[in-house]
Structure 1
Amino acid sequence: MPETIGTAWMWAAFAIFVVAALVADIVLLERGGARRITLREAAWWSALWVVLSFAFAGLLWWYLDIEHGRSLANLKVTEFLTGYLVEKSLAVDNIFVFLMLFSYFAVPLKYQRRVLIYGIVGAIVLRAAMILGGAWLIARFHWVLYLFGAFLLATGIKMWVFADAKPDLERNPVLRWLRGHLRITPEFHQERFFIIRDGKWWATPLFVVMVMVGVTDVVFAVDSIPAIFAITLDPFIVLTSNVFAILGLRAMYFLLAGFAGRFHLLSYGLALILMFIGVKMLIADFYKIPVFVSLAVVVAILAASVALSMVLRPGLQGRGQSADAES
């Protein structure tokens, strides 16, 4: 595997932290049973996850500065922050898709939390497996980086071209397969995924939504994992930046659900970021773009796309707009 700053105790400590964070998120946000998460709660939790991410970056810098010197500390923390911002921005796009799914199936807000927590746990497990597999592949076959770069460039171009296209869920093959092979109740049964009716098992619409969220996790993982490997090949930095970006996903969903339509240009910004990272990966053997330059480019694109979304405010269009309009 590629060289990593992660020692055995660092991997173990991070694993313990992730488990504790997930338990805290589930227990504290689940107080009171199925209910609507308030905007204030979502804002506080979202801010907390961001603060914890930057606190981790600070502790990592402090440790590396003592053990390995200032130069390596600066490099690795810059890699972490760049990866975190890229993954966080892709997570926002993921949220818009979740919003579209919940709107399409008319899932009450108070029942959305359980689906989201399963989605977050699944995303963490999936990314951990893909990161370890990707690190092994890159260590054995360096040319895989070119495939990743070409894939990201093509994905960015496709995202730009179809940024305003509304996905047609009725023609989604996974949804069509589920409807063709499962008995699905027309109504929700609180937060249950299955019920027994007339002696037979029936799936509820909430189970269908959970499967679709899982499929969405897979699709976004395929985009995000190559993107982070373009920034760093250190598995510890890759995993930690990914996980910190995902941990606050549930709170961020409830925070952004009412404002999704206001970020109508974010998809264009994400497309530019993916294209930039793809090019960066393709030319890596000829010219290495410094990590701090990559960080500056990502921040500039994200800031510009958000600012322009607020200023231009066109009519309802795009994925976020469509989902918001449906809800």
Structure 2
Amino acid sequence: MESAFPLFADWLSAAWLGTPAWMWLGFLALVAALLAFDLGVLHRESREIGTRESLGLSALYIALGLGFGGWVWWALGAESGMNYLTGFVVEKTLAMDNVFVIAMIFSFFAVPRIHQHRVLFWGILGVIVLRAVMIGFGAALVTQFSWVLYLFAAFLVATGVKMLLFAEKERPLSENPLVRLMRRRLNVTEAHHGERFFVRLPHPATGRPTWFVTPLFMALVMVEVADVIFAVDSVPAIFAITTDPFIVYTSNIFAILGLRALYFALAAMIHRFAHLKVALSVVLIFIGAKVFAAELMGIGKIPPTVSLSVTFAILASGILYSLWKTRPGSGAPQPGGPGG
């Protein structure tokens, strides 16, 4: 036992993707504890989440995310702390944009509010795994081929310009190829069956007991796919801020952890953020452009404090402008919350 302890201590202190293994284990343990507390204590039984509870949980998750950023600042230095906070702010705002899509998915599949938390909870578990794979792949690419960072930056600039100049026409989910494929290839129930993703029912043609997927499962699949699509923007964005995998992954996950709680407050007033996409597009252009400005134009690396200040100023301006343009009495449409 005495000889094993030093080996274990050496393993904990060994660098894994540039950061000591004990930091990775500590972060993953914290995330697991938060998810266990959420599912096992706060939401052990299915129930609707009100706006007040949603805002309270969101404030808790934001405080935890910022607190973790303070610890990163203390443990890894001011530059790492600033990069974490910048990534956290950018990812949090991009996640807010994701609420529009999730609300549309829940409305299309008529997911009752009492079961929406279940979809979001299992969705976040998928996000943790999918983001780990995508970030690990991105880190390997950037390490082996430094020029990939310029591809990420060019993609961000192009995406930002497209969002700024060309309004995308939303395609009805009924025409979505994945929805049509699932309905064609899988046995799908017409009605919901509580919070179950799968049910065993008599087949309408043979009468034999057969496994069916429910609309709740289809909603979960679409939420996961939506996150993959949004990750195509967010992962390059954070790599353009920092290439440290620990900062990239932790800022992403802490920003997304609170999305589940924040959804129930934002979903009722998503129309108030109608102009947020403009601010997001400018942020993506700024983050991508500063990579080229730093390396190709000889300006040098832009200080993290400048990146964080500019990013925060752009996003805050976009949020405040949206709230002002959609204020009661402004003539802007005031729709209700999402269906379901």
Please confirm whether the aligned pair reaches a TM-score higher than 0.5, indicating the same fold.
yes
The answer to whether residue 181 in structure 2 is matched with residue 174 in structure 1 is: no
User: Which residue number corresponds to residue 279 of structure 2?
Assistant: 269
1:278 aligned partner: 288
Residues 127 and 221, structure 1, Cα contact 8 Å, conserved in 2: yes
Instruction: Give yes or no for the alignment of 1:129 onto 2:133.
Output: yes
Is residue 193–residue 204 contact of structure 1 (8 Å, CA) maintained in 2? Answer: yes
Show the counterpart of 2:197: 193
**Unmatched runs of 5 consecutive residues or more in structure 1:** 65-72
| Cα separation, 2, equivalents of 1:134 and 1:46 | 29
Corresponding position of 2:81: 77
Cα offset for 1:267? Answer: 1.3
Give SS of 2:294's match: coil
2:60 to 44, 48, 64: 48
CA distance in 2: counterparts of 1:214 and 1:60, whole angstroms: 29
CA contact (8 A) 1:227 1:274 kept: yes
* Paired residues of 1:115 and 1:210 also in contact (CA < 8 A): yes
**1:69 maps to what in 2?**
none
Specify which of 123, 142, 147 is matched with residue 119 of structure 1: 123
- Residue matched to 1:68: none
> Separation in 2 of the partners of 1:163 and 1:44?
34
Contact 1:166-1:322 at 8 Å conserved across structures = no
Query: Does the CA-based 8 Å contact 2:274-2:322 persist in structure 1?
Result: yes
Q: Which residue identity does 1:17 align to in structure 2?
A: L
1:283 deviates by 3.2
Deviation (angstroms), 1:129: 1.4
- Deviation, 1:322, is 8.0
Q: Which is greater in Rg?
A: 2
C-alpha distance in structure 1 between counterparts of 2:335 and 2:164, whole Å: 17
Q: 1:156 to 1:89 in 2, by over 3 A?
A: same
Residue 225 of structure 2 is aligned to residue 212 of structure 1: no
Structure-2 separation of matches of 1:76 and 1:59: 10
User: Distance between the aligned counterparts of 1:166 and 1:78, measured in 2?
Assistant: 36
**Within the alignment, does 1:232 sit opposite 2:230 as a pair?**
no
Report percent identity of matched pairs: 50
Aligned to 2:8: none
Residue matched to 2:70 = 58
The AA in structure 1 aligned to 2:275 is L
* 1:55-97 Cα deviation digits (max 9, x unpaired): 1122222334xxxxxxxx2211111100000010111111121
Q: Does 1:306 align with 2:289?
A: no
> What's the CA shift for 1:302?
1.0
Three-state SS of the structure 1 residue aligned to 2:189 is coil
Q: Which runs of 4+ in 1 moved over 4 A?
A: 2-5, 321-327
Q: 1:26 aligns with which of 39, 46, 49?
A: 39
Letter in 2 for 1:284: A
Partner of 1:9: 22
Contact 2:94 2:234 survives alignment (8 Å): yes
**Alignment partner of 1:91 is 2:126:** no
Out of 252, 256, 274, the position equivalent to 2:266 is 256
Alpha-carbon deviation of 1:315? 3.0
In 2 relative to 1, CA 55–297 (structure 1 residues): closer, same or farther, beyond 3 Å? same
Deviation at residue 126 of structure 1 after TM alignment: 0.8
Whole-Å separation in 1 of the counterparts to 2:17 and 2:290: 21
- Per-residue CA distance 1:72-128 (angstroms, 9 max, x = gap): x22111111000000101111111210111112211100111110111111111111
Alignment partners' CA distance in 1, 2:106 and 2:272: 18
1:168 CA drift (Å): 2.2
Partners of 2:280 and 2:315 within 8 A in 1: yes
Asked if the contact 2:282/2:314 (under 8 Å) is kept, the reply is yes
> What is the CA-CA distance between 1:271 and the residue it aligns to?
1.2
The answer (yes or no) to whether the contact 2:268–2:338 under 8 Å persists in 1 is no
Q: Is the 8 A contact 2:73 2:79 kept in 1?
A: no
Q: Tell me by how many angstroms 1:303 deviates.
A: 0.8
One-letter code of the match for 1:106? A
User: How far 1:4 moved relative to its partner?
Assistant: 6.5
Q: TM-score, normalised by structure 2?
A: 0.87
What is the Cα deviation at residue 290 of structure 1? Answer: 2.2
Q: How does 1:149-168 map to 2 (within 5 A)?
A: 149-163=153-167, 165-168=169-172
Q: Secondary structure at the match of 1:257?
A: helix
Question: Do the aligned residues in 1 keep the contact of 2:87 with 2:251 (CA within 8 Å)?
Answer: yes
Secondary structure of the residue that 1:230 maps to in structure 2? helix
* Distance in 2 between residues matched to 1:169 and 1:158, nearest whole Å: 22
Q: Residues 62 and 104 of structure 1: is their aligned pair in 2 closer, same or farther, counting only changes over 3 Å?
A: same
Task: Give the drift of 1:28.
Answer: 2.7
Q: TM-score, normalised by structure 1?
A: 0.90
